[in-house]
Amino acid sequence: MTINMPSGVTELGAKDLGSLFHPNTNLAVHHANGPTVFTRGEGIRVWDDQNNEYIEGMAGLWCATLGYGDEELAKTAYEQIKKLSFAHLFAGRSHESAIQLADKLASMAPFRNARIFFGNSGSDANDTQIKLIWYYNNAIGRPKKKKIISRKKGYHGVTVAAASLTGLPPFHQGFDIPIPRIIHTESPYYYRGAEPGESEEDYATRLAASLEQLILSEDPDTVAAMIAEPLMGVGGVLLPPATYFQKVQAVLDKYDILLLDDEVICGFGRCGNTWGADTFHMKPHTISVAKALSSAYLPISAVIVPDFMYEPMIEASGEVGLFGHGFTYSGHPVSAAVALRTLEIYEERKLYDHVRRVTPKFQSRLSALGAHPLVGEARGVGLLGACELVRDKSTKEAFDPRLAVGAKCMAMCQQHGLIVRAIGDAVAVCPPYIVNAADIDDIFDRYQKGLDDTLSWASKEGLL
Ligand SMILES: Cc1ncc(COP(=O)(O)O)c(C=O)c1O
């Protein structure tokens, strides 16, 4: 293949174009534009290979909660590598970091007597969720009860089963996904999904009724679980309408269907409480965590499993001769040590309180962007938000997706030294927890400039 080198590409950028296969990237656009190559980070800021400085307004991928270059986490990793760089959990072997982290997570779980199963990513945690549900239902003699309900616009990862849970077309198209037994219900998207004049409560009632219809049409005896993020991040920062989870949960309870909570973005304080489930009144049966678990310093994920599921699996695995699921790096000692230190730092530095303290400023600056001529809706909770860009605010008319207006806005913000993320035409912002009030002003001043530049571009191009 001949590699086209876009103008202005740096030496590292050229190597990237020659050798890297980028995940979750429009490969055609990447080859036309080349990469932005980051070389260092400190606090909430990162620098590229031309020494341009940016505020990381997305905490990487909604994950670098403690920002960059934390000395204590670096020391923890270094010391654990020297002490015991690898140990595994297969065949009953164990080690201190995994035990201490499991103990800590179990004490934080919103249900009693939790068990912790470790993995390496949010995707594999959600794959594990599916396998555990299937194994559990086999163990308790319900071999028919296997289907998993997910939601359109939900994001649960990219491995074959997790991508099937994901309800976004680019993660299915061309990959022969979804696999059987995974079905999708409506997403809670009040801005676009509600009828004119419909209250949040009425909209939630309608969504719960549509879920019930789906369950009945599939046969409730074949439906095992529903998976949901407390709020949909990658789907466009979609907050559940008031009463949504109470109503959904009543339907699930009626048909003995478990609720799997994907806390990969929301877990550990992002929405203002330890769990997104607390913010949005979910009562989950199991939980997936990753990202903020280690502040993204090292890869690690976990599934938090309730006692009532674990117990029947003990006997079942005895009969089979093995509980045949797990990864070489399940509970990797260095990742686990860093994750444990991260959870301790959240408490020692009072970061849950800090997030709650700076949230009003963050949310008021975000909602002020709602007045911008391009912004149809500014929505968010805690230290997370998005502006949905529209062609016409009064009719909510969207731009033609091929114009990639959201991506344009993201690029404009980047020119002002702010990293945000375009999800279609919703432009998300999700900074590290360590932002202070001045940082928040800086972030939204830059965001406003990015929006203004996008507006000038759109009017010059005749798009309005
Ligand atoms: C809610 C949610 N679940 C799962 C995942 C997948 O995590 P990973 O990319 O670590 O596989 C993500 C990633 O953004 C996510 O947002």
Q: Whose CA is nearest to atom 7 of ligand 1?
A: 122
- pLDDT, position 4: 75
Please give all residues whose beta carbon lies within 6 A of any atom in ligand 1, as ranges. Answer: 61, 121-123, 126, 155-157, 229, 233-234, 262, 264-265, 290
CATH of domain 72-348: 3.40.640.10
Question: For a substitution probing ligand 1, which of 25, 291, 294, 297 has the most ligand atoms within 8 Å of its CB?
Answer: 291
The one-letter code for the residue type at 218 is E
Domain boundaries, the chain: 36-69+352-460, 72-348
Q: Which atom of ligand 1 is nearest to the CA of 120?
A: 10
The amino acid at 413: C
Query: What is the third-level CATH fold of 36-69+352-460?
Result: Aspartate Aminotransferase, domain 1 (3.90.1150)
**Strand order across the beta sheet in which 286-289 lies:** 115-119, 301-305, 286-289, 258-262, 223-228, 147-151, 182-185
Distance CA 429, CA 439 (A): 13
What backbone phi and psi angles, to 5 degrees, belong to 39? -120, -20
Which of 264, 268, 329, 384 best tests ligand 1's pocket when mutated (most atoms within 8 Å of CB)? 264
Sign of CA dihedral 106, 109, 113, 118: negative
- Token output for 178: 């979804």
pLDDT 10s digits, 191-211: 999 999 999 999 999 999 999
Distance CA 442, CA 57 (A): 10
- Euclidean distance between CA atoms 223 and 258, whole angstroms: 9
The CA distance from 169 to 151, in Å, is 12
Contact between 404 and 252 under an 8 Å Cβ cutoff? The reply is: no
Give residue-wise pLDDT tens across range 255-302: 999 999 999 999 999 999 999 999 999 999 999 999 999 999 999 999
pLDDT above 90 coverage of the chain, percent: 97
* 332 phi, psi to nearest 5 deg: -45, 130
Residues 142-153 have a mean pLDDT of 98
The full DSSP string for 299-312 is --EEEEE-HHHHHH
- Alpha carbons 33 and 130: distance in angstroms, whole number: 39
Give residue 128 CA to ligand 1 midpoint distance, Å: 13
In this structure, the residue with its CA closest to atom 1 of ligand 1 is 264
What is the distance between the alpha carbons of residues 94 and 363, in angstroms, rounded to a whole number?
Answer: 44
Between strands 418-419 and 53-56, the pairing is: parallel
Which pTM does this prediction carry? 0.97
Confidence of residue 380 (pLDDT cuts 50, 70, 90): very high
What is the pLDDT at residue 6?
Answer: 85
174 and 207 Cβ atoms separated by less than 8 Å:
no
70-98 pLDDT, tens per residue? Answer: 999 999 999 999 999 999 999 999 999 99
